[in-house]
């Protein structure tokens, strides 16, 4: 059974009197353990597809299944619980909370689950140490470089051992050397933990490292290549 399955998914946005069809009948599935990139030009629907998979947005029509369950039948509370327990997110602009330290940012998903603060902190510290940030646990985001902030964001995404990590342009704001290090890091997590990654990107460096590339063009799947 696929972790994710989209069947004939459309997503339409309204801007005033205009209608923008971001996804046009997308069929897509994602198996456990995959390291997959969704790629294509700006406006092709990459972020929209990730948002639909991540339950941040609802399909206008079509069917979305997550671990075999129809997403349309989930209540708002059930959707929020599924996001917190089964999904991790890495964003282009990191989306760290500026008033929290690195370790506090990483603790947050566990605390939202009701995990005790001491246990959440211990897990967050282990995650940050693994990502080479042992000396930056108490630093707030504005005291960290872009690469360090993205590592905190990765630690936050994986601390709860999610089934799927969704990454939207994770290397877009990073220099070449930092981007290569980050790509190696994500690939290592995929291999060592079996964590499934769905990555929206146009970064050729990242596309060269993934095992599957799904090209979106004008909101539809133009090609789907395994490597």
Q: What is the pLDDT along the chain (227 residues), one digit of tens a residue?
A: 899 999 999 999 988 888 999 999 999 999 999 999 999 988 899 999 999 999 999 999 999 999 888 998 889 888 888 888 899 999 888 899 999 999 999 999 999 999 999 999 999 999 999 999 999 999 999 999 999 999 999 999 999 999 999 999 888 878 888 888 888 888 899 998 899 999 999 888 888 889 999 999 999 999 999 97
- What radius of gyration, in Å, describes the C-alpha atoms of the chain? 17
Instruction: Let me know if domain 32-58+73-226 sits in CATH 3.30.1600.10.
Output: no
Domain spans, the chain: 32-58+73-226
Question: Are β-strands 196-201 and 164-168 bridged in parallel, bridged antiparallel, or unpaired?
Answer: parallel
What is the model's pLDDT at position 9?
97
DSSP for 45-75, please give it: SHHHHHHHHTTSS--SEEEEEETTEEGGG--
> What whole-number distance in Å separates Cα of residue 93 and Cα of residue 162?
21
Question: Which residues, listed in sequence order, are joined to residue 10 by a DSSP beta bridge?
Answer: 61
H-helix or E-strand containing 222? strand 220-226
Q: Which residues pair with 182 in a beta bridge?
A: none
Nearest to 95 by CA among 109, 81, 82: 109
Compute CA distances 204 → 133, 139, 195, whole Å: 27, 32, 22
> Can you tell me the distance from the alpha carbon of 159 to that of 83, in angstroms, rounded to the nearest whole number?
13
């Amino acid at each position: 059974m696929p972790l994710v399955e989209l069947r004939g998914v459309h997503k339409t946005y309204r801007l005033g009197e205009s209608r923008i069809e971001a996804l046009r009948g997308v069929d897509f599935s994602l198996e456990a353990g995959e390291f997959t990139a969704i790629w294509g030009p700006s406006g092709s629907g990459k972020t929209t597809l990730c948002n639909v998979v991540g339950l941040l947005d609802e399909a206008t029509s079509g069917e979305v299944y997550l671990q075999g369950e129809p997403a349309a039948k989930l209540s708002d509370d059930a959707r929020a619980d599924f996001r917190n327990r089964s999904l991790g997110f890495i964003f282009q602009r990191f989306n760290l909370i500026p008033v929290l330290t690195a370790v506090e940012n990483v603790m947050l998903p566990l605390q939202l689950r009701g995990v005790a603060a001491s246990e959440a902190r211990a897990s967050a510290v282990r995650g940050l140490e693994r990502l080479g940030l042992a000396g930056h646990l108490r630093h707030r985001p504005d005291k960290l470089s872009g690469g360090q902030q993205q590592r905190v964001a990765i630690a936050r995404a994986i601390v709860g051992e999610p089934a799927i990590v969704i990454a939207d342009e994770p290397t877009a704001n990073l220099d070449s050397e930092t981007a290569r290090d980050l790509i190696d890091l994500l690939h290592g997590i995929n291999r060592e933990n079996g964590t499934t990654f769905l990555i929206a990107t146009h970064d050729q460096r990242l596309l060269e490292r993934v095992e599957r590339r799904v090209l979106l063009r004008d909101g539809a799947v133009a090609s789907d290549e395994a490597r």
